[in-house]
């Protein structure tokens, strides 16, 4: 017959074994890693926007600058759409897609973000850009 002390010890032992098995699995789910990925890309885009690189709408130049600004452990993909603005309406003109497009992303944690920016001519909006990006750990 099982005494109360032995039953209580078994319950505590089972709880400890359960916690020991659960904690290592949760260690990979760092809630801040996604924020770091997004923050890194936002910082890179802030820099490129301030330098006027984004407004050049050149995928090779933008890729080179992002790769030099992003931490090496991250891969990324981007799509930028260019719209003209006239008579209070937008018309899509062009789109570029670049980055690590052939990567296998199944099972990866992706962070998605968006940045909107403008170009001006004679104090008027000439083009509106919609940049969407995806970032993941290599």
Q: What SS3 state is found at 52?
A: coil
Nearest 5°: CA angle at 26, between 17 and 8? Answer: 20
Length of the chain: 138
Q: pLDDT per position in the chain (138 positions), as tens? A: 568 777 778 878 887 777 766 655 555 555 556 778 888 999 999 999 899 898 888 999 999 999 999 988 888 999 999 998 778 888 899 999 998 866 677 777 788 899 998 888 888 888 889 999 998 888
Q: What SS3 state is found at 125?
A: strand
């Amino acid at each position: 017959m099982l005494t109360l002390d032995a039953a209580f010890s078994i319950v505590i032992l089972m709880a400890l074994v359960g916690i020991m098995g659960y904690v290592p699995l949760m260690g990979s789910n760092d809630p801040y890693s996604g924020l770091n990925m997004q923050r890194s890309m936002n910082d890179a885009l802030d820099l490129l926007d301030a330098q006027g690189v984004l407004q050049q709408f050149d995928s090779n130049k933008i890729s080179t600058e992002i790769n030099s600004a992003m931490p090496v452990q991250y891969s990324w993909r981007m799509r930028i759409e260019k719209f003209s603005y006239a008579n209070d309406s937008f018309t899509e003109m062009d789109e570029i897609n670049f980055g690590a497009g052939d990567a296998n992303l199944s099972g990866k944690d992706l962070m998605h973000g968006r940045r909107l920016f403008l170009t001006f001519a004679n104090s008027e909006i000439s083009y509106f850009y919609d940049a969407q990006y995806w970032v993941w750990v290599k």
